[in-house]
Amino acid sequence: MEVFYLYLLCLFTLFTSLALHFIFYKRNSGSLTGTLPPGKTGWPFIGESFEFLSTGWKGHPEKFVFDRMTKYSSSVFKTHLLGEKAAVFCGPTCNKFLFSNENKLVQAWWPDSVNKVFPSSTQTSSKEEAIKMRKMLPNFFKPEALQRYVGIMDHIAQRHFASSWENKNQIEVFPLAKRYTFWLACRLFVSVEDPNHVAKFADPFNVLASGLISIPIDLPGTPFNRAIKASNLIRKELLLIIKQRKVDLAEGKASPTQDILSHMLLTSDENGKYMHELDIADKILGLLIGGHDTASSACTFILKYLAELPEIYEGVYKEQMEIAMSKSPGELLNWDDIQKMKYSWNVACEVLRLASPLQGAFREAINDFIFNGFYIPKGWKLYWSANSTHKNPEYFPEPQKFDPSRFEGSGPAPYTFVPFGGGPRMCPGKEYARLEILVFMHHLVKRFKWEKVIPNEKIVVDPMPIPAKGLPVRLYPHKA
């Protein structure tokens, strides 16, 4: 009899446990009853990383996304990228969802390759690092600060074109565009203006950029290994600059507000702690990459398309010459001049659509959630793709046609044109990039016409689009 009662007690306990589990599971999981997005995960560890990267190397980064959108008839598909389970989000609805749920359902995430190149960034979460940086940057990218930058940009652009373009019959555009944007970033972020000093950074920065988003295999000769070595070289140079700046600030030889570096050195957190020198070096390193690499790609493709489309060139030339003719000899460009460059900026936007430097970006799910009926588990990595809208005829009719008029009036539909991302994590340097691109266009068309040396030069994406041979062009200076 006792055995019978014990048996009943066990059954009751089991039933109660199952009932409680069911109740709490349903309460905690809410409506999370969807299935995982369709797709495949590819090979172990590598996943579909090779296909993801190789379509860019072949010049068609959108192919990875559009092939899978077609195959799975979905705006969301699963894959495995850079060692992580991932879902790729495609289209304006997906963009809106990810951008508007920042730090609610998703947060910024960088591949392991980035964390190893920037080792101090692993000491705190990417969310905390992003919050820190976004508290610091607005002072340097707000309108009154940007207005001060126009004259500096104009001055450096004049020096750049005089030293690297004028009196040349033929030049290679991409390295020179990088030199221009990097010079500006060095001047405005760390007050380094001497061309020889800037040149010390240039080569390792190129190596770093090409290996930053790569399969994190740390073996000699791999892009990832070269990127780590390059970052260490740059970091050492930045630490020398930081140490000297601390001395200069203490002796009154440097201004507390002259650049981002001074601000970082003099700003403490809520606990009164100041950033470590190595942490500052990493953040400056990241800013220098973000402050010049994407803009140099855009400037390069502006030359490409203006060479191919003489009617577009004439429109830009007319607008820029009206501004040039309104200036006194030696007078620098100002904020009002930039506001007059409406057609030029429409042209630049169409370049950013067709050859977006930012192909997309990663997020991480910080909670389980359902989107479009698909279950996204916590911890999955999410990738949004700029090309899923930029080159989609549903949002940009005849997507391969170069048409600046798309940006007239109210412009493209919301969340379809996303070269700078969107939401709380929209690139804080968007207006900075607009200035450096427009100042570049002004000096370019004011001085030259040009033609491509290689008519059908291949485009590769690694990780940004660049012409395979650097876009060599023949220059034809305007007659005085």
The CATH number of residue 384's host domain is 3.30.43.20
The pLDDT of residue 22 is 39
Residue 207 lies in a domain: yes
263 falls in which pLDDT band (50, 70, 90)? confident
Tokens of 383: 């990738």
Same domain, 257 and 302: yes
Say what percent of the chain tops pLDDT 70.
87
∠ CA 445-313-457 to the nearest 5 degrees? 95
Same domain, 368 and 331: no
Same domain, 328 and 366: no
State the DSSP code for 424. Answer: G
Among residues 418, 441, 467, the one where a domain terminates is 418
The pLDDT of residue 18 is 38
Residues 364-377 pLDDT 10s:
999 999 999 999 99
Same domain, 157 and 305: yes
Residues 43-81 pLDDT 10s:
877 888 888 888 888 888 888 889 889 898 678 999 998
Same domain, 102 and 91: yes
Residue 232 lies in a domain: yes
Sheet holding 76-81, edge to edge: 76-81, 84-89, 381-385, 360-365, 106-108
Same domain, 41 and 151: no
Q: What is the mean pLDDT of the chain?
A: 85
The pLDDT of residue 129 is 55
Residue 1 lies in a domain: no
Same domain, 244 and 155: yes
Among residues 395, 418, 441, the one where a domain terminates is 418
The pLDDT of residue 131 is 59
Window from 17-21, 150-154, 257-261, 450-454 with minimum mean pLDDT: 17-21
Same domain, 296 and 157: yes
Same domain, 288 and 154: yes
pLDDT at 279 over 70: yes
Residue 48 lies in a domain: yes
pLDDT at 294 over 70: yes
Provide the 3-class DSSP secondary structure of residue 184: helix
Average pLDDT over residues 109-129: 62
pLDDT at 7 over 80: no
Q: How far apart are CA 113 and CA 268, in angstroms?
A: 29
Helix axes 223-250, 173-190, angle to 10 degrees: 30
Q: How far apart are CA 377 and CA 365, in angstroms?
A: 7
Same domain, 230 and 283: yes
Residue 427 annotated as lining a ligand binding site: yes
Residue 24 lies in a domain: no
* CATH (domain of 216): 1.10.630.10
Same domain, 345 and 369: no
Residue 29 lies in a domain: no
* 136 against 293, higher pLDDT: 293
The pLDDT of residue 28 is 42
Distances (CA, A) of 398 to 77, 135, 210, 394, 402: 25, 41, 31, 9, 9
Residues 130-160 pLDDT 10s:
556 656 665 677 777 788 889 999 999 999 9
Residues 167-179 pLDDT 10s:
999 999 999 999 9
Say what percent of the chain tops pLDDT 90.
49
Same domain, 106 and 133: no
Average pLDDT over residues 298-314: 97
Among residues 418, 440, 462, the one where a domain terminates is 418
Window from 38-52, 324-338, 430-444 with minimum mean pLDDT: 38-52
pLDDT at 26 over 60: no
Number of domains, the chain: 2
Average pLDDT over residues 256-270: 85
Residue 98 lies in a domain: yes
Residue 12 lies in a domain: no
All residues at 6 or more sequence positions from 265 whose CB lies less than 8 Å from its CB, including other chains? 242, 245, 246, 249, 274, 275, 280
Total-model pTM: 0.85
Residue whose structure tokens are 């030069």: 457
**Domain encompassing residue 46:** 34-122+359-418
